[in-house]
Structure 1
Amino acid sequence: MKQEAARKDVEGAFGVLQARFAIISGPSRMWCKDIIAEIMRACIIMHNMIVEDERDTYIRQFDYTDEDVNFEVSMPIVSQNHLPEYDEYLRNHTRIRNRSTNNQLQSNLIEEI
């Protein structure tokens, strides 16, 4: 029973992160586990920062019953066929690994911030 409750908590938290950050909701089977872990940590940190920043804007009166809350997480549709998105991912990955492109992307990001 405790394991089921913990599973529901994890699924609910993951669902919140998926709704906020598109990178989590996409396929990640070809990614390195260390990269996935870094992405998850970054998303959790950013989510916590957003929640902390918006804390005072929340309405103070909440209905704390979870009768109408659905914590179901849908199973992703996985295809064994050739994925054109993966080809695009590989092209982008190669482009980002290019030193000059990487430097330009970093410069653009710094300018945006």
Structure 2
Amino acid sequence: MGNKNKYFAKAHEVARKDVERAFGVLQSRFAIVRGAARMWDTETLGDIMKACVIMQNMIVEDEGVVDPTERFDYGGQNVEPSHENNGTFDEFIETHKRIRDKEIHIQLKEDLIEHL
């Protein structure tokens, strides 16, 4: 491996660790980042991530100081994404369809109005 390749590999490793650490902080602070992303289109995912980064920056700015030893409920800097089995993709799609069902939505809305 040439010097350029070694340098690139090292730079890539450092950048990857920074990204993983930053993503871990976002996962720790914002539940929406921890959850499944399958239901979101790429544009919406981008908006979610931008919003979380903006809110994180606002939190850091408000606190005035970044505490490198701060830990969060979900593991702090080095949070690993959850790869636990959350059901099959077909189950996910079926649940999503039920959530988006217009008749069920109308019925739930009417039930809520009646309850109130």
Task: State the TM-score, normalizing by the size of structure 1.
Answer: 0.59
RMSD: 3.7
Question: Which residue number in structure 1 is paired with residue 83 of structure 2?
Answer: 76
The one-letter amino acid paired with 2:80 is V
Deviation per residue, 1:36-78 (Å, 9 max, x gap):
000000000001001100115x67xx78xxxxx9736245235
Q: For 1:21-36, list aligned pairs within 5 A.
A: 21-36=30-45
Give 1 or 2 for the bigger CA radius of gyration: 2
Q: Of the two structures, which has the highest relative contact order with CA contacts closer than 8 Å and spacing of 6 or more?
A: 2
Q: For 1:32-111, list aligned pairs within 5 A.
A: 32-55=41-64, 71=78, 73-74=80-81, 76-78=83-85, 81=88, 82-83=90-91, 87=95, 91=99
**Sequence identity percentage:** 38
Task: State the TM-score, normalizing by the size of structure 2.
Answer: 0.58
Gaps of 5+ in 2: 1-9, 70-75, 110-116
The one-letter amino acid paired with 1:24 is V
Confirm or deny: 8 A CA contact 2:30 2:52 kept in the other structure.
Answer: yes
The DSSP-based 3-state class of the residue aligned with 2:78 is coil
